[in-house]
Amino acid sequence: MQLRRSRTKMQNINNIFITHLHGDHCFGLLPLLSTLALLGRTADIHVWGPAGLQSVFQQQIDYFCAGMTYTVHLHEIGHTEPSLILDDRSLTVTALPLRHRIPCVGYLFREKPLLPHIRRDAIDAFGIPVSQINNIKAGMDWTTPEGDVIPNHLLTTPAEPPRSYAYLSDTLYAPELATHLHDIDLLYHEATFLSEHQHLAIQTYHSTALQAAMMARECNARQLLIGHFSSRYNDENLLLHEAQTIFPNTLLASEGQRITINYNL
């Protein structure tokens, strides 16, 4: 229902990343998979999560989704060390160990560098054939029919820098992860409690807003998004203001919110 409200095309979803097997983070998975089958999906879908994913969901899929029009692949991943779990043409996904009451992982998404853009005026000026455009993007110079060599930097403009995003929920403050999150563009970090309730954060294996901001500062993030707030706070701006004392470029997460990760120009 929330995907429909946000006008997200469900058929474009090919990978689903589960952080841990507490109900508020995974109860919606089976209805989503069932809905995709009712919509006639045929492409495989991959679900990633920590130990227990297979035992919790495979039986439910077999029972409730028998005869589905597509295949669900359940991938259990380690939760004690960082691990590269997905590497395709456009990005990598790394699972990061979090510190929660049960096996829990965060996810780091990094785009791969793009090829430079070829200049349209250069194509026209030097009569470059379409068949050579990919070679020039890959770094090749161009030699004119007269034998003049046109260096690549005159034929192309730099590509946008690759973007990065990390999702860390639920966890105790884990500063050891900062080295894996260096220069992250957008960091989502849970901020369940205010610092005055840090004893509750420790008891429940959660973080404070101040600790989320400290993580953003330590990994030199460009922007911090905090969420997973305790219901004890009627005014979530209290959490925002606490985080901003350490990391000013902090936003509050809200249902249905869209955030554009701008290229780091």
* 24 assigned to active site: yes
Sign of CA dihedral 142, 145, 149, 154: negative
Q: Write down the pLDDT at residue 264.
A: 54
Residues above pLDDT 70, as percent of the chain: 99
Tens digits of residue pLDDT in 31-54: 999 999 999 999 999 999 999 999
**Can you name the CATH fold of 88-114+160-265?**
Metallo-beta-lactamase; Chain A (3.60.15)
Q: What is the pTM of this model?
A: 0.88
What pLDDT score does 147 carry?
87
pLDDT in tens, 131-161: 889 999 889 999 988 888 999 989 999 988 9
Q: Is the pLDDT of residue 265 over 60?
A: no
% of residues, the chain, pLDDT over 90: 74
| pLDDT score, position 263 | 62
Worst-scoring range by mean pLDDT, 15-24, 60-69, 180-189, 243-252? 60-69
Rounded to 5°, angle at Cα 257 from 251 and 258: 95
* Catalytic pick among 24, 124, 148, 235: 24
Residue 109 has pLDDT above 50, yes or no: yes
Q: Provide the pLDDT for residue 148.
A: 87
- With beta carbons less than 8 A apart as the criterion, state whether 240 and 208 touch: no
- Check residue 29 and give its pLDDT: 94
pLDDT of residue 106: 97
Model pLDDT, residue 188: 98
Task: Name 47's Cβ contacts closer than 8 Å, sequence gap at least 6.
Answer: 15, 16, 18, 29, 53, 57, 72, 73, 74, 75
Least confident range from 14-23, 32-41, 203-212: namely 32-41
Residue spans of the domains in the chain: they are 1-76, 88-114+160-265, 117-157
